Amino acid sequence: MTIPTVSTQNGDWAEVVDKLVAEKIASRIAAKDATIWGPEAEPEASIRLGWVDLHDTSRPLLAEIEALQADLRSEGLDRIVLSGMGGSSLAPEVITRTAGVELVVLDSTDPSVVARALGGDLQKTVIVVSSKSGGTVETDSHRRVFVKAFTDAGIDAASRVIVVTDPGSPFEKLSADEGYRKTFLADPNVGGRYSALTAFGLVPSALAGADIAELLDQAAEAAPALQADSTDNPALWLGAVLAASAGRDKAIVAADGSDIVGFPDWAEQLIAESTGKNGTGVLPVAVEPNAPELRSEASDLTNALLAEKATSGVPTALTSGSLGGQFLLWEVATAVAGYLLGIDPFNQPDVESAKKAARGLLDAQPEPEAAAFTDGVVEVRGSEGLLDGVDSLKGAVDVLLGKLDSDGYLAVMAYLDSERDAALAGVRPALATRTGRPVTFGWGPRFLHSTGQYHKGGHPQGVFLQITAAHPTDVEIPDRPFTFGTLISAQAAGDANVLAERGRPVLRLHLTDPASGVQQLSALFAH
């Protein structure tokens, strides 16, 4: 059975679902009715509903992608690198990990991550550069460094670059001017986080070897149930659990080790960017299967569990079904949640703020702010007034956590190498246990295109722990006056500045030695 199902516990949403059925919300979404979310949202919604029938409209891509894949394989090109941020990388990551095929996902500006991607066998490498706008600084920088690497290796760089972008973007023109091997134009009426079944999700996944025809078939099979004005529609129930659980504004999203791999990270971006705005929304907290937030009698989690805390009496939803069906289920449910919350689920008004701040820092190239103090290999900085009278790392952390209210959350934002510094992710459950509050963990700058929207536009309940590190080896960006090390530093500083300007407490920890620093922090947070 591949059609999605949702079972709910510890809550009564029947009245909400009845209201959604009576107002024909599901069929109106399927009909691309842009008036659902109100007059202010209508202009944006009118150009963002192409996702509802991608299981049909994306099918012409299949033959085109298959032909390209055959050509690449015939030339021995089987190492696919994907440069993309947010929805451009999260959906392909889930698709390929679930399919068990290899895709090198490059969604970081950390120099060691970039260097590792460059260090693979370039003779077998093709890079897919994905950007809706064509102006994403991360993907443009990746493109530049790979073009140089190919050229330096005596490889015709243009033959190794595949572009996925929206029609009319600067990237489309650049691709034509540079003679890049192939340009795929995605549906411009689909926002990035809803783009799993567009060219952004399908092209890199298929080139890596995933069966994307099956993915579309799965979504097509699920669509009738998700478009029905019926109390049996699982998307209506899931949307109600997300947005109509009285007094709750957080959703714990966990996988149970089923066949779908990495789904919580994709769902996190979808929910955070879609609902976290206008001072409201639902904060998704992607957690590991045995997370402290999941103390629960429910031991049979399928693909996801939603609740603020999965304890007895807390609203819970268990979802199951195929990956293609899950994509569509959660997209419809998130659009329904937007309706229930009274917000536009298709815009992201606060994402640009951190980007502008980073660009300003790149242009100005200021000296780094002086550390308040150094403890071991950790330089400590904080938002205004946070560190008054504090002279130790432990004291600084205690002060930050002391700002955490009973309805708040802690966001750990690690601008580091997710492979080299993977052990640091272990601080998330440790901090959740210590605080008794939901704790999010995001690798920067990746999370800026995900929970970064909620941090700035959602409920002002967060306290923020930012972790950065020195770059023993940096990577130049061709024809740019900054390096990857400078870029990620500016992105981190810009993000912290915007949060501080909005009155959010921010503790910034800079590791002068990454390996020793991760050990120092892990030891500190374990107690």
Mean pLDDT of each 10-residue bin along the chain, 527 residues long: 77 93 98 98 97 98 97 98 95 97 98 98 98 89 98 98 96 96 97 96 98 97 97 96 88 80 94 94 88 58 43 69 95 98 92 84 85 98 96 98 95 97 95 92 94 93 97 96 96 96 97 97 90
pLDDT for position 201: 98
Same domain, 366 and 288: no
Same domain, 129 and 68: yes
Same domain, 194 and 244: no
pLDDT for position 397: 98
H-type alpha helices, 31-82: 42-45, 54-57, 60-74
**In the chain, how many domains are there?**
3
Going by DSSP bridges, is the β-strand pair 5-9/316-320 parallel, antiparallel, or unpaired? Answer: antiparallel
Same domain, 319 and 364: no
CATH number, domain with residue 373: 3.40.50.10490
Query: Does a structural domain hold residue 358?
Result: yes
The alpha carbon of 519 is separated from its chain's Cα centroid by a whole number of angstroms, namely: 26
Q: How many CB atoms lie within 10 A of CB 300?
A: 9
pLDDT for position 259: 85
Query: Does a structural domain hold residue 240?
Result: yes
pLDDT for position 6: 86
Same domain, 105 and 142: yes
pLDDT for position 310: 43
Same domain, 421 and 299: no
pLDDT for position 313: 55
Q: How many CB atoms lie within 10 A of CB 51?
A: 27
Q: pTM of the predicted model, to two decimals?
A: 0.95
Q: How many CB atoms lie within 10 A of CB 124?
A: 14
Same domain, 277 and 358: no
Query: Does a structural domain hold residue 46?
Result: no
- Do residues 207 and 126 lie in contact, with contact meaning Cβ atoms separated by under 8 Å? yes
- Do residues 250 and 409 lie in contact, with contact meaning Cβ atoms separated by under 8 Å? yes
Same domain, 202 and 226: no
pLDDT for position 1: 45
Backbone angles phi, psi at 366, to 5 degrees: -75, 160
Distance CA 176, CA 335 (A): 36
Rounded to 5, what percent of the chain is helix, strand, coil?
45, 15, 40
Instruction: Output the CA–CA distances (angstroms, integers) from residue 492 to 8, 135, 280, 384, 445, in the order listed.
Output: 39, 19, 24, 17, 7
pLDDT for position 202: 98
Same domain, 186 and 82: yes
Going by DSSP bridges, is the β-strand pair 283-287/250-254 parallel, antiparallel, or unpaired? Answer: parallel
Q: How many CB atoms lie within 10 A of CB 270?
A: 26
- Domain extent, residue 301, equals 5-35+216-341
Same domain, 335 and 357: no
Q: Which of 323, 341, 359 finishes a domain?
A: 341
Same domain, 187 and 224: no
Same domain, 17 and 107: no
Query: Does a structural domain hold residue 287?
Result: yes
Beta bridge mates, 414: 443, 467
